[in-house]
Amino acid sequence: QSVLTQPPSVSAAPGQTVTISCSGSSSNIGNNYVSWYQQLPGTAPKLLIYDNDKRPSGIPDRFSASKSGTSATLAIIGLQTGDEADYFCGTCDDSLSAAHWVFGGGTKLTVL
């Protein structure tokens, strides 16, 4: 059971928009920055979003994210087949040991 809650799967057609939610509590999302990671099949995770809503260089602006209270949301617009991947949210949890990261269980995105 993951500390952060994500839907197991989402799906949408190419060109459409999809959102992935990440729910936590006041000790993690509510009090810390959230980052999002994309894991393409058979590869390592890749940073997609950091500090709630910032994109690293090279990440298309089709990817965006926001945080409100104890929840965060990743949005992908103009879906492409290459976006099919697992997406994870992550942050630190102040109720655990210092610098203790927690992740969501991951959401599998299927582009129909």
Partner 1 sequence: EVQLLESGGGLVQPGGSLRLSCAASGFTFSNFAMNWVRQAPGKGLEWVSVISGSGGRTYYADSVKGRFTISRDNSKNTVYLQMTSLRAEDTAVYYCAKGEFVVPAVMGGMGVWGQGTTVTVSS
Binding positions for partner 1, rule: CB under 8 A: 2, 32-33, 35, 37, 43-47, 49-51, 56, 88, 90-92, 96-106
Minimum distance from CB of 66 to partner 1 (Å)? 15
Measured from the CB atom, the residue of 63 and 105 that comes closer to partner 1 is 105
Minimum distance from CB of 4 to partner 1 (Å)? 9
Measured from the CB atom, the residue of 17 and 101 that comes closer to partner 1 is 101
DSSP string, 67-84: EETTEEEEEE-S--GGG-
Contact yes or no for 22/2 (Cβ under 8 A)? no
CB neighbour list of residue 5: distance below 8 Å, 6 or more residues apart:
21, 22, 23, 24, 104, 105
CB neighbour list of residue 58: distance below 8 Å, 6 or more residues apart:
none
Measured from the CB atom, the residue of 47 and 112 that comes closer to partner 1 is 47
Nearest to 86 by CA among 1, 3, 2, 7: 7
Measured from the CB atom, the residue of 14 and 100 that comes closer to partner 1 is 100
Minimum distance from CB of 92 to partner 1 (Å)? 4
